[in-house]
Amino acid sequence: MDSSLTTFLLPAVLAVIMFGLGLGLTVADFRRVTAHPRPVAVALCCQLVLLPAACLGLVLAFDLSPALAVGMMLLAASPGGTMANIFSHLFGGDVALNVTLTAINSVIAVFTLPIVVNLSLDHFMSGTDEALGLRFDKTLQVFLVVLVPVAAGMLVRQRHPDFAERSTRAVKVTAVTALVGVIIAAVVSERKNVLGYLADVGHVAFLFAAISLTVGYGATRLARGDHRQSVATCFEIGMHNTTLSMAIALSPSLLDSTRMAIPSAVYAVEMFLMALAAGFLLRRIAPPETAADSTGAQPAQA
């Protein structure tokens, strides 16, 4: 994708996406970590260490092509998306914990995502005819494109909270609409190869989604978190931010690769259906008092 439109549009869309994320965050979101130290620590460990390792194992086991392998690792390194908060609310999760995890993960991902992508490029694409690099200058670029808009959004929310509340939805809708248009254009340009990509990566994306959701719930339960906290982490680390990963993959100033965006596109469709199934299953196994709370007002969390 080398048109002048995408050259300028995609970095701008990515910045708007991150600005919209910042509009929804406050300093209090980070302070709440003291109320849930154990589930937060477990979720971060899973998000930053366990899931990238699991994704790497799947990529190697199924011998994905270099570009698709990097795309899967980019997806694994992306933080949870806003849909996680919605699913957590619908299926009786601790939404306050979701917001805290989203805030912390989004900031940490600023540093970890470029590192994971760099290592993946070096491992999978070095010496191939598809070789390209996300070296220090582009690592810095990812850092700036992600962190600066988030910080700006948080600053706007702190100083003009009413404006932030009114603008958050409009900003997100505008950015996502523009990104969907770019994704459609990318798919059309690669239409001859799309079915092949789906066949190549669909099963890997499915397994990664299943592992992410299972680990999110199971690890928190093993760490003696309650059901609502476990539901929150299930969706938070199970539903990666495909909007962010696709924007980075498609941006001409960053990775500029339709093939690297394919895993995120496939995952987005599969994850939505799998998250619905997981939500109904989690509702069935919820303790009676928790199930009752999820149908009405949820109890206040410390």
State residue 80 phi and psi, 5-degree precision: -65, 150
Per-residue pLDDT at 301: 42
* Counted domains in the chain: 1
- Say if 292 falls within a structural domain: no
Give the separation between CA 123 and CA 264, rounded to whole angstroms: 20
Give the separation between CA 299 and CA 125, rounded to whole angstroms: 50
Q: Which residues contact 41 (CB under 8 A, 6 or more apart)?
A: 223
Closest to 154 measured CA to CA, from 5, 29, 280: 29
Rg (CA), the chain: 19
Give the separation between CA 234 and CA 87, rounded to whole angstroms: 10
Handedness of CA 144, 52, 106, 108 (dihedral sign): negative
- Say if 48 falls within a structural domain: yes
Among 134-143, 181-190, 212-221, the range scoring the smallest mean pLDDT is 134-143
Q: Which two tokens stand for residue 47?
A: 């998000």
Q: What integer is the mean pLDDT of 219-226?
A: 87
pLDDT for 176 beyond 80: no
- Say if 300 falls within a structural domain: no
Domain interval for residue 272:
4-286
Q: Which two tokens stand for residue 218?
A: 């199971």
For the chain, the 3-state helix, strand and coil shares in percent, each to the nearest 5, are 80, 0, 20
Among 37-46, 73-82, 91-100, the range scoring the smallest mean pLDDT is 91-100
Q: Which residues pair with 240 in a beta bridge?
A: 80
**46 or 130, which is more confident?**
46
Confidence of residue 34 (pLDDT cuts 50, 70, 90): confident
- Say if 203 falls within a structural domain: yes
Q: State the CATH number of the domain containing residue 231.
A: 1.20.1530.20
Give the separation between CA 211 and CA 228, rounded to whole angstroms: 19
Q: Which residues contact 51 (CB under 8 A, 6 or more apart)?
A: 76, 208, 211, 212, 215, 237
- Say if 297 falls within a structural domain: no
User: Amino acid letter at 103?
Assistant: A
